[in-house]
């Protein structure tokens, strides 16, 4: 097991600062080598990653491949585009700047800190790390202590494949996080809950450190009548119950047109049987709740409303069946907090304006889902609501598209990443203006006498 003494944090940062100063990370060839190195390390450790996630979350192997090891696709994308991302970009200048040229140079920020959560504990550390490497930074990463085995695997991979003066892992919980936050970084990238997000932002403010906060919240899912019911229930059930609902962009609750509610519930019931059999506790394809604390929190939600599908639990395994709840009140705790587990409340509406009004009365969500083929309704929901992202006629898949920046807005987060957005997040765009010596007009120099009328004329 690889552990870092918390008392060494200052040394690690100092070593990284010195390494950064050598300029080595500014070399694009070096960055590409390191991205390939990371990819190779993940491939080498595939089986250990699968086993760690099995132990932490009972995560099915297929889910680990598509949602954790699949981060390799982000590495390939970065390698493919890094030459164009790093190239200085020409910027236009207006006619009165005719003797100048302007360019934007992306430059690395320096030493960055990445703090991750436990729900996709591998991918949510590695994905921002790819951006940090591509942009030419050194990085310290702190995986979630709650996904204990995955944290160790990340530490082992990084220790084996990277110089700690370039990339280092600090394992541990709140104490480790707070020790790190007491230091100055050039950027902090945090994924986790909104409450801790506030602590991170306050700590960063002390040094004016820029932050990216990838937070959570309640992501609504509107279901209209103009749908393919079979596809709709399958896509909702998959997005909600993958990783036993512990997904930041899982549909948190459904807002369903009351004309289709009965059919939707029947469809969900049938679909869950197809996915997990008569008893999901015996299915190899269904995860468990990460910890006793989260299990207890979720079990309390089962008291709200009326359980119409599922509802069974097995405390010894931290198992909660895929559950659908009807007749919840908006004041119930299940409708006040992010659920982050396999419990899906259904709220019906008569007019879609009720659904939109409910969404707009709450903090801006990370994701918003709409199932409808009605183009006018699609347009209306896009126009009248605000959320980190939107996925129409599907759930969760938006996270897999590297060309789409991923992030929240308002309470669901600040900043974004994936693909080019990751590179931008960990870069500073340095504006460079260059003049030449072939001409030096005197309109801006003192003495100003006689020059004002011309300036006034030019400025209209």
> What is the contact surface with ligand NAD in residues (CB under 6 A)?
115-119, 124, 142, 144-146, 173-174, 177-178, 191-193, 196, 199, 214-216, 248, 338, 340, 366, 408, 413
Q: Name the closest residue to ligand NAD (Cβ).
A: 216
The minimum distance between CB 172 and ligand NAD, in angstroms, equals 7
- Run of H or E including 392: strand 389-392
The minimum distance between CB 167 and ligand NAD, in angstroms, equals 17
Cis peptide upstream of residue 400 (ω within 30 degrees of 0)? no
Q: How far apart are CA 385 and CA 424, in angstroms?
A: 26
Q: Are 186 and 137 in contact (CB under 8 A)?
A: yes
Catalytic residue check, 221 = no
The minimum distance between CB 147 and ligand NAD, in angstroms, equals 8
Task: Name the 3-class secondary structure at 370.
Answer: strand
- Return the number of the residue (128 or 322) whose C-beta is nearest ligand NAD: 128
Q: Are 328 and 349 in contact (CB under 8 A)?
A: no
Task: Name the 3-class secondary structure at 10.
Answer: helix
- Return the number of the residue (174 or 454) whose C-beta is nearest ligand NAD: 174
Selected catalytic residue, list 63, 171, 221, 248: 248
Burial label, 342 (beta-carbon count in 10 A; 0-12, 13-18, 19+)? buried
Q: How far apart are CA 355 and CA 364, in angstroms?
A: 14
- Return the number of the residue (113 or 223) whose C-beta is nearest ligand NAD: 113
Selected catalytic residue, list 74, 214, 338, 348: 214
The minimum distance between CB 140 and ligand NAD, in angstroms, equals 12
- Return the number of the residue (12 or 227) whose C-beta is nearest ligand NAD: 12
Burial label, 423 (beta-carbon count in 10 A; 0-12, 13-18, 19+)? buried
Q: Are 254 and 223 in contact (CB under 8 A)?
A: yes
Q: Which of 211, 210, 202, 271 is nearest to 238 (CA)?
A: 271
Q: Which of 272, 267, 264 is nearest to 222 (CA)?
A: 264
Q: Are 232 and 267 in contact (CB under 8 A)?
A: yes
- Return the number of the residue (140 or 227) whose C-beta is nearest ligand NAD: 140
DSSP E strands: which ranges in 92-133? 101-108, 111-115
Q: How many CB atoms lie within 10 A of CB 184?
A: 14
The pairing of strands 367-371 and 220-223 is parallel
- Return the number of the residue (115 or 370) whose C-beta is nearest ligand NAD: 115
- Return the number of the residue (57 or 215) whose C-beta is nearest ligand NAD: 215
Residues 6+ apart with CB under 8 A from 387: 219, 359, 364, 365, 366, 367, 368, 409, 412
Catalytic residue check, 138 = no
Q: How far apart are CA 97 and CA 22, in angstroms?
A: 36
- Return the number of the residue (215 or 222) whose C-beta is nearest ligand NAD: 215
Q: Which of 430, 416, 429 is nearest to 128 (CA)?
A: 416
Tell me the CB-side half-sphere exposure of residue 288, using CA atoms within 13 A.
Answer: 21
Tell me which residues are annotated as active site. 214, 248
């Amino acid at each position: 097991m690889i552990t870092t003494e918390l008392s060494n944090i200052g040394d690690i940062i100092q070593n990284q600062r010195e390494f950064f100063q050598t300029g080595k990370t500014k070399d694009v060839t070096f960055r590409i080598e390191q991205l390939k190195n990371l990819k190779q390390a993940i491939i080498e450790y595939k089986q250990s990653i699968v086993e760690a996630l099995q132990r932490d979350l009972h995560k099915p192997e297929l889910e680990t491949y598509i949602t954790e090891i699949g981060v390799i696709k982000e590495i390939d994308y970065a390698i493919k585009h890094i030459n164009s991302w790093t190239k200085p970009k020409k910027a236009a200048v207006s006619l009165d700047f005719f003797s100048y040229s302007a360019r934007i140079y992306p430059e690395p920020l320096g030493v960055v800190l990445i703090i991750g959560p436990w729900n996709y504990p591998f991918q949510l550390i590695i994905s921002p790390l790819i951006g940090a490497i591509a942009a030419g930074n050194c990085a310290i990463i702190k995986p979630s202590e709650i996904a204990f085995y995955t944290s160790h695997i990340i530490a082992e991979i990084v220790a084996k494949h990277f110089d700690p003066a370039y990339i280092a892992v600090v394992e541990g919980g709140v104490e480790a996080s707070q020790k790190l936050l007491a230091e100055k970084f050039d950027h902090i990238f945090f994924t986790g809950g909104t409450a801790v997000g506030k602590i991170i932002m306050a700590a960063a403010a002390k040094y004016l450190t820029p932050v990216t906060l990838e937070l959570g919240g309640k992501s609504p899912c509107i279901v209209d009548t103009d749908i393919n019911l079979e596809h709709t229930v399958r896509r909702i059930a998959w997005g909600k119950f993958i990783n036993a609902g512990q997904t930041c962009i899982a549909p948190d609750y459904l807002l369903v047109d009351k004309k289709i509610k009965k059919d939707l519930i029947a469809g969900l019931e049938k679909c869950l049987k197809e996915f997990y059999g008569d008893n999901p506790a015996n299915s190899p394809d269904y995860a468990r709740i990460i910890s006793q604390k989260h299990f207890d929190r979720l079990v309390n939600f089962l008291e709200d409303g009326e359980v119409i599908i599922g509802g069974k639990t097995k405390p010894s395994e931290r198992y909660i069946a895929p559950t659908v709840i009807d007749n919840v009140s908006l004041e119930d705790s299940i409708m006040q907090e992010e659920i982050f587990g396999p419990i899906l409340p259904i709220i019906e509406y008569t007019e879609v304006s009720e659904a939109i009004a409910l969404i707009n009365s709450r903090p801006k969500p990370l994701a918003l889902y709409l199932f409808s083929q009605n183009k006018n309704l699609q347009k209306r929901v896009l126009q009248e609501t605000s959320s980190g992202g939107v996925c129409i006629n599907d759930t969760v898949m938006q996270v897999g598209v590297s060309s789409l920046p991923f992030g929240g807005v308002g309470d669901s987060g600040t900043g974004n990443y994936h693909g080019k957005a990751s590179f931008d997040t960990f870069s500073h765009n340095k504006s460079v203006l260059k003049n030449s010596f072939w001409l030096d007009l005197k309109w801006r120099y003192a003495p100003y006498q006689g020059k004002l009328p011309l300036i006034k004329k030019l400025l209209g």
